[in-house]
Amino acid sequence: MATKKKIVKVLIADDQTLFREGIKDVLTGEKWISVVGEAADGEEAVALAKKLKPDVILMDIKLPKMDGITATKNIKKTEPNINILMLSSFEDEAHVMDAVQAGANGYLSKMLPAAELVNSIRTFTTEGLMIPQQMLSKLLQGLRKMGEPNAPTQAMLTKTEIKVLDMLGSGLSNKELAMELNCSVKTIKNHLNSAFHKLGVTSRTEAVVKAIKLGIISSDK
């Protein structure tokens, strides 16, 4: 008997009704996605996240009542397993940094074609979406200016874990990492889980950000 594919529950948070309806129309056409709710402001997004417990929230940064950054922080405090994907027209260093530091697992432009958005959500839910390359450079610029005093050294991680984290910074998927290191995808996942535990993070994006801040891997990509 074939294994039933998991339906990914998505909550859309955006104050523009036409934009929400447009995304909903695109996602409704995907059998593996279920749009479980819509929020027109940050407070509603927080309330619906707690009530509906979606797998993914597509979160706009600029929301009334409570902005998307604050809403993300609040959601992550009570529902850390919910993946939050920022969809924004802002692509500057400051907004990308704020989103990642708030706990967002990914950051995409609102200008993405529909097909790319769907593919990004698929990758996001199966492997943990990294920041797109053009935005990753902005994030790294911000990280170069930051430091974390009294941080542990790279000795806490194995050489392979450090190598995997370094390659994550280039946006490679688990499958691509496995091909590069000539091992199985399961082995890559084991390395990632071990690195996540040691760094005290729960996502690929958080792992790369913290590893750069700690000086474990370089921000010069």
Domain boundaries defined on the chain = 8-136, 145-213
pLDDT of the residue at 2: 43
Does the reported pTM lie above 0.95?
no
Q: 8-136: what fold? A: Rossmann fold (3.40.50)
Find the Cα–Cα–Cα–Cα dihedral 186, 188, 194, 196, rounded to 10°: -120
Q: Torsion-angle region of residue 92: left (phi > 0), alpha (psi -120 to 50) or beta?
A: beta
- Looking at every residue in the chain, the average pLDDT score rounds to 80
Tell me the residue length of the chain.
221
In this predicted structure, the answer to whether residue 36 has a pLDDT above a threshold of 90 is yes
- Asked if residues 67 and 42 have their Cβ atoms less than 8 Å apart, the reply is yes
pLDDT bracket for residue 149 (50, 70, 90) = very low
Least confident of 76-80, 91-95, 125-129, 131-135: 131-135
- Asked if residues 71 and 46 have their Cβ atoms less than 8 Å apart, the reply is yes
**CA-to-CA distance for 6 and 126, rounded, in angstroms?**
11
In this predicted structure, the answer to whether residue 215 has a pLDDT above a threshold of 90 is no
Per-residue pLDDT tens over the stretch 64-112: 999 999 999 999 989 888 888 888 876 666 677 778 778 887 788 888 7
pLDDT bracket for residue 137 (50, 70, 90) = low
CATH placement of domain 145-213: 1.10.10.10
Provide CB contacts within 8 A for 173, sequence distance 6+: 123, 127
User: Which is nearest to 185 in space by CA: 109, 111, 103, 126?
Assistant: 126
Beta bridge partners, 6, equal none
pLDDT of the residue at 219: 61
